[in-house]
Amino acid sequence: MNTLRELLQDYLAMRRALGFKLRTEGTGLISFVAFSEERQADHISIALALSWATQPASVQAYRSAQRLSYVRGFARYCSAFDARTEVPPLEFIALPASTSKPLLLHGRGH
């Protein structure tokens, strides 16, 4: 089985071959894989993705949502190679109109 780091290298190479620059997303995903390795995670879980996306506690909601979207795309790719992979749903972090904190939505079959 491939490690998350190996899968990330393949994922970024494939996306770049398709013409995507992936400057911010690539850097973000490298950070996510390092975060995963620090926690000795060998697959993507929703809890792991949320934990990374909402770090640090002061991060703005739009940034958390953006970071989670990076992981979502990578997780979809990883799910083809590892059935344990959990893909964070689109609705999981919403941006409330009146606050800068992310709103975690639950109960949609998660």
Contacts of 106 (CB under 8 A, 6+ apart): none
Beta bridge partners of residue 94, listed in sequence order: 103
Copy the structure tokens of residue 7.
């899968």
Q: What is the pLDDT of residues 3-53, one digit of tens each?
A: 999 999 999 999 999 999 988 899 999 999 999 999 999 999 999 999 999
Q: What is the pLDDT of residue 86?
A: 97
User: Which comes out higher in pLDDT, residue 104 or 63?
Assistant: 63
Q: What is the pLDDT of residue 107?
A: 45
Q: What is the pLDDT of residues 44-87, one digit of tens each?
A: 999 999 999 999 988 888 899 899 999 999 999 999 999 999 99
Q: What is the pLDDT of residue 95?
A: 52
CA distance 106 to 5: 29
Q: What is the pLDDT of residue 70?
A: 94
